[in-house]
Amino acid sequence: MKMKRCCLIIVSVCFLALAMVRTTVAQEKEQTPVSDYSDVIKESLPAWNEDVLKAPKQKTWTERASMQSLIEAVRDDVRGKQENFQDNERKVSIEKDRGYVRYINAHRGYKHGVSPAKPVAGDQAERMIVEAVKIIGVPEDELKGPHVATVLGQGGSIQEKARDAAFAREQLVYIERTVNNLPVFASEIKGSVSNSGEIARLLVKWPDFLMADVQKIKPRDQVISTILSQIREALQGQPIFSVNMKLAYTPLQTEGKIRYVPGIVVSVIPAAGNGIMFTVPVAD
């Protein structure tokens, strides 16, 4: 009997993946490494103005999240269970203080030779996940996207190193977050819809939006200086391929709560070694 190997090809979309990685790949092909961080930072830094201070002081939703709303959202019977529950097939976790909801149902996952061969349509998967998170309580006006991608699986013979034809396992839906027309860094929703048309997994990272007490924007030169200092400290003069930046609301942990401040998300790809990512506020 030939032994089989299986691998998953997972196509997903994430905040910064589209905004930064694609740009980075292109830059790596076209540019040689540079050691003058200052010029690269000045070229890459986006503009901002007082509008970034106009976000709502408070947008809360997590009090509406409950086991009952999750049951309705994913159409699974976990009635009578606590907000942190696990059995042989399912795992449910609701943590209101950080806007975290997690649902996994292994029974709904792909089963080779049993599950339907074709995935549900992308727009159907999109509607299911959007409707689910709305039922849980996530504010509809903060949803950006969604992005839908098909998760593929592939098997093959170990001895012959041959691969079978790829097959569709599920549809993966990714949703980003925006407030005041700006992205909210580190907030995301991921949901998978099985070929049978059921929600198999759902992940919500969506803290209540509490604006930090910021009164004025920082001068551009001050932000450049802070970014330059952090890159120099991290890379110690090492040449870089690219610096990519995005204006967003970035989370801060203050007084035991997550609060948001407008800032720059910085992603740096050095000529060698691992890249770095950090955030710098543009208001105080």
Q: DSSP labels for 198-212? A: -EEEEEEE---EEB-
In a domain, residue 74? The reply is yes
Q: What is the CATH number of the domain that holds 147?
A: 3.30.310
Is there a single domain that holds both residue 200 and residue 226?
Answer: no
Q: What is the pLDDT of residues 71-102, one digit of tens each?
A: 999 999 876 677 888 999 999 999 999 999 99
Instruction: Spell out a b/e string for 16-49, using b for 16 or more CB atoms within 10 Å of the CB, else e.
Output: beebbeeebeebeeeeeeeeebeebbeebbeebe
Q: Output the pLDDT for position 31.
A: 55
Is there a single domain that holds both residue 66 and residue 204?
Answer: yes
Q: Output the pLDDT for position 256.
A: 86
Q: Output the pLDDT for position 6.
A: 35
d(CA 48, CA 261) in angstroms, rounded, equals 13
Q: Output the pLDDT for position 80.
A: 67
In a domain, residue 4? The reply is no
Domain boundary among 166, 191, 208: 208
d(CA 67, CA 80) in angstroms, rounded, equals 9
Q: Output the pLDDT for position 28.
A: 40
Is there a single domain that holds both residue 130 and residue 154?
Answer: yes
Q: Output the pLDDT for position 35.
A: 73
The model carries a pTM of 0.85
Is there a single domain that holds both residue 183 and residue 204?
Answer: yes
Q: Residues of the chain whose pLDDT is less than 70?
A: 1-32, 79-80, 156-158, 161-162
- Cα dist. 52→36, 186, 197, 243 in Å? 30, 18, 40, 22
In a domain, residue 64? The reply is yes
Domain that holds residue 75: 60-208
Q: Output the pLDDT for position 155.
A: 75
- Number of domains forming the structure of the chain: 2
Q: What is the pLDDT of residues 253-262, one digit of tens each?
A: 988 899 999 9
